[in-house]
Amino acid sequence: MSLQIEYQPPVDASQLRYFMRYEQTNAKTEYLPHQHEWGQAIFVSGHVLEMEVEGERLLTPAGMPIWIPPGQRHSSYNHCLAQFRTFNLAADLCSGMPQKACLLTVDAIAHAIMDEFTRRGLEQPHSDADWRLCDVLIDRLRLAPVHTSYLPLSDDKFLAPILRALEENPAITPRWHSGRSACSPLNVRWRGAVSSS
């Protein structure tokens, strides 16, 4: 059984230029479908977050944020304990960002800024330096290469079924499982993953 959560934005969210959120959710938690008038970059720390945006499924791995443009209906589900941070920006600041939800390959500068905000627990910029960091972060997001999936594609008869299974359920316990929990690091040993028969 999964826990269902309704997204609760800050009461003054629609008046804010930028705001950040820091959340941790237990395994098997679903954020119910919702939308908002601001853009949102979600940075996941550890494990994979399963997102559905406007009816399209995206898997969000750690280190590769997902971009959700303003007004797009989305929900999420995490199979494992998940920590994530969101960088939210007013709709008028979203020009130059992708018009469709996607994954972004951001650089070390973007990660360092989010790490700094997280370390300080900063929910909104206060100082001139905070505002400048927000401006730099949006610039780094605009420059980031866009992807629709983080899994490679393959026609290989052995590799393709494995990739399909991982995409359909990122927390699977495959037959080649090492005995570790699907939510623990290094959970798969590939020996014996495919047979030649």
Give Rg (Cα) of the chain. 18
Supply 151's token pair.
């899994």
Greater model confidence, 83 or 140 = 140
Least Cα distance to 74 among 111, 106, 39, 32 occurs for 32
Domains and CATH numbers, the chain: 3-147 (2.60.120.10), 152-197 (no CATH)
pLDDT of residue 188 exceeding 90: no
pLDDT digits (tens, 9 = 90+) for 106-133: 999 999 999 999 999 999 999 999 999 9
* Residue 181 confidence (pLDDT): 53
Per-residue pLDDT at 196:
38
Closest CA to 73 of 104, 103, 41, 32: 32
- pLDDT value, residue 3: 78
Helix/strand number for the chain, H first, E second: 3, 11
Q: What is the mean predicted confidence (pLDDT) over 172-189?
A: 50
Q: Which residues of 3-39 are buried (b: 16+ CB within 10 A; e: fewer)?
A: eeeeeebeeeeeebebbbbbeebebebebeeeebebb
| 71: three-class secondary structure by DSSP | coil
C-beta neighbour count of 44 within 10 angstroms? 22
pLDDT in tens, 30-55: 888 889 999 999 998 877 778 889 98
pLDDT band at 65 (very low <50, low <70, confident <90, very high): very high
